[in-house]
């Protein structure tokens, strides 16, 4: 569908009631039995929402139950430390999420007398809580009639109503609020999440089994056209461009590790990173890293065989990283492009914001007993 001719959702109101009723009826028979659906405790809802970010539901269930056994109330978490909390978070990845949870719990106790805020504006002032999480708490804990947009709900709306384009999420956020049935926001959104993960999947939608198919724009199109009518934002993530291969250096000196700050105008600007760069063709990985570090910092390094391999999809780019421990053979590190440099202890790495692909490595370096490499 040409985005110039994409209809407004406002023209689709006549079909919204049937859409709502069908989704809710389907959920009554097919909804998943999940532990966080048995509570309206905002703290418990918040824990589940943070854990569910970029983590599969089946994996989260055990973590959620174990975490709440140790921290059954907000005050319990607020009185904890990151080192202790880590024992109940380890394995979920994305450790910044966990650290932000601890900060948020402490902020709610200190600034809100231990009571979870109910309005989305206040919720979004807390560490790690953005528009999605704030609305999820408002709907799933307080049953407010808010619109919660995630990949599942956006995909279903886009397909059923024939809405697409580069600004899909913006369009839905502005126009789709009336799709939420009054007094039924909780059930409606739970329905959409389960429906999107089982029937209206991203890659293989089960249109022949879908109770919405008769009025669904996507289902009524020829099979050969369907691939091109998925929301563009989602397609972009599923068909990332050819992967970029990056050699990364963990440069050690006197018990500290060298990090650099990405400059403005670059991808992921303002975040800290380890030195390194793209591999050229079939260039040897260690040769690549030596070259990149010399060009970037003006130093010669000895490079050990890689310690970690990481594949990460940023949505618009798939990155393959090889992390090597290094030691300086000659020279003093200086930013050849005037980038900021810093030597930090492994533990202090946790206090700096790194690209998401580095999360696991940061955690392992920060929590392992420090040993300078022998090259």
**pTM over 0.85, yes/no:** no
Q: What is the per-residue pLDDT across 28-75, written as a single tens digit (0 to 9) for each? A: 999 999 999 999 999 999 999 999 987 789 889 999 999 999 999 999
Calpha distance 328→375 (Å, rounded)? 10
The CATH number of domain 3-236 is 1.10.340.30:
yes
Q: What is the dihedral of CA 357, 359, 361, 365, to 10 degrees?
A: 150
Catalytic residues: 49
Residue 1, pLDDT score: 40
Q: Across residues 147-160, what is the average pLDDT?
A: 89
Q: Across residues 285-302, what is the average pLDDT?
A: 94
Q: What is the per-residue pLDDT across 277-291, written as a single tens digit (0 to 9) for each? A: 999 888 899 999 999
Q: Are strands 318-330 and 300-313 parallel, antiparallel or unpaired?
A: antiparallel
Residue 307, pLDDT score: 87
* Rg of the chain on CA atoms, in Å: 24
Q: Across residues 139-152, what is the average pLDDT?
A: 93
Residue with the larger pLDDT of the pair 326 and 372: 326
Residue 332, pLDDT score: 93
DSSP state of 123: H
Neighbours of 357 (CB within 10 A): 19
- DSSP of 51-105: HHTTS-HHHHHHHHHHHHHH--SHHHHHTS-HHHHHHHHTTS--HHHHHHHHHHH
Q: What is the per-residue pLDDT across 104-121, written as a single tens digit (0 to 9) for each? A: 999 999 999 999 999 999
How far is it between the farthest Cα atoms of the chain?
72
Calpha distance 209→83 (Å, rounded)? 48
Q: Across residues 89-103, what is the average pLDDT?
A: 82
Q: Across residues 259-288, what is the average pLDDT?
A: 86
**Confidence band for 11, pLDDT divided at 50, 70 and 90:** low
**Confidence band for 90, pLDDT divided at 50, 70 and 90:** confident
Measured in degrees and rounded to the nearest 5, phi and psi for residue 223 equal -55, -35
Q: What is the per-residue pLDDT across 155-200, written as a single tens digit (0 to 9) for each? A: 899 899 888 766 777 778 888 888 999 999 999 999 999 999 999 9
Instruction: List the single range of 29-33, 199-203, 265-269 with lowest mean pLDDT.
Output: 265-269
Q: What is the per-residue pLDDT across 307-343, written as a single tens digit (0 to 9) for each? A: 888 888 765 568 899 999 999 999 999 988 888 999 9
Residue 5, pLDDT score: 39
Instruction: List the single range of 1-5, 18-22, 80-84, 213-217 with lowest mean pLDDT.
Output: 1-5
Q: CB of 42 within 8 A of CB of 137?
A: yes
Residue 8, pLDDT score: 56
Q: What homologous superfamily is domain 244-367 in, according to CATH?
A: Nucleoside Triphosphate Pyrophosphohydrolase (3.90.79.10)
Calpha distance 286→374 (Å, rounded)? 16
Residue 236, pLDDT score: 36
Q: What is the per-residue pLDDT across 212-261, written as a single tens digit (0 to 9) for each? A: 999 898 998 845 444 434 444 333 333 334 578 999 999 999 989 999 99
Q: State yes or no: pLDDT of 267 exceeds 90.
A: no
Calpha distance 181→184 (Å, rounded)? 5
Q: Across residues 123-133, what is the average pLDDT?
A: 92
Could you tell me which residues come within 8 angstroms of residue 336 by beta carbon, excluding any fewer than 6 positions away?
Answer: 295, 296, 297, 298
Neighbours of 288 (CB within 10 A): 22
The CATH 3.90.79.10 portion of the chain extends over: 244-367
The CATH 1.10.340.30 portion of the chain extends over: 3-236
């Amino acid at each position: 569908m040409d985005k110039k001719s994409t209809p407004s959702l406002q023209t689709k109101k006549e079909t919204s009631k049937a859409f709502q009723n069908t989704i809710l009826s389907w959920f009554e028979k097919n909804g998943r039995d999940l532990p966080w659906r048995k509570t309206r405790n905002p703290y418990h809802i918040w824990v589940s929402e943070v854990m569910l970010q970029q983590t599969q539901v089946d994996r989260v269930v055990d973590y959620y139950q174990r975490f709440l056994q140790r921290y059954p109330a907000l005050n319990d978490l607020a009185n904890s430390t990151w080192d202790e909390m880590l024992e109940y978070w380890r394995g979920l990845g994305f450790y910044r999420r966990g650290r932000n949870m601890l900060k948020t719990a402490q902020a709610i106790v200190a600034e809100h007398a231990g009571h979870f805020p109910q309005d989305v504006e206040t919720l979004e002032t807390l560490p790690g809580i953005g528009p999605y999480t704030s609305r999820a708490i408002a709907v799933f804990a307080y049953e407010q009639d808010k619109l919660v947009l995630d990949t599942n709900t956006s995909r279903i709306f886009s397909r059923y109503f024939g809405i697409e384009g580069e600004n899909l999420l913006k369009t839905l956020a502005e126009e789709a609020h009336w799709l939420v049935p009054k007094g039924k926001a909780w059930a409606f959104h739970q329905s959409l999440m389960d429906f999107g993960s089982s029937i209206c999947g991203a890659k293989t939608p089960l249109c022949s089994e879908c109770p919405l198919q008769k009025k669904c724009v996507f289902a009524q199109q020829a099979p050969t056209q369907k691939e091109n009518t998925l929301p563009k934002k989602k397609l972009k993530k599923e068909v990332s461009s050819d992967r970029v291969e990056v050699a990364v250096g963990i440069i050690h000196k006197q018990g500290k590790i060298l990090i650099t700050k990405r400059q403005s105008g670059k991808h992921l600007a303002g975040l800290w990173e380890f030195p390194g760069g793209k591999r050229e063709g079939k260039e040897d990985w260690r040769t690549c890293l030596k070259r990149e570090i010399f060009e970037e910092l003006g130093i010669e390094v000895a490079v050990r065989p890689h310690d970690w391999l990481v594949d990460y999809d940023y949505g618009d780019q798939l990155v393959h990283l090889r992390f090597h421990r290094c030691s300086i053979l000659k020279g003093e590190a200086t930013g050849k492009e005037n980038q900021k440099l810093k030597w930090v202890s492994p533990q202090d790495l946790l206090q700096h914001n790194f690209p998401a692909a580095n999360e696991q490595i940061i955690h392992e370096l920060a929590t392992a007993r420090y040993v300078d490499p022998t090259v």
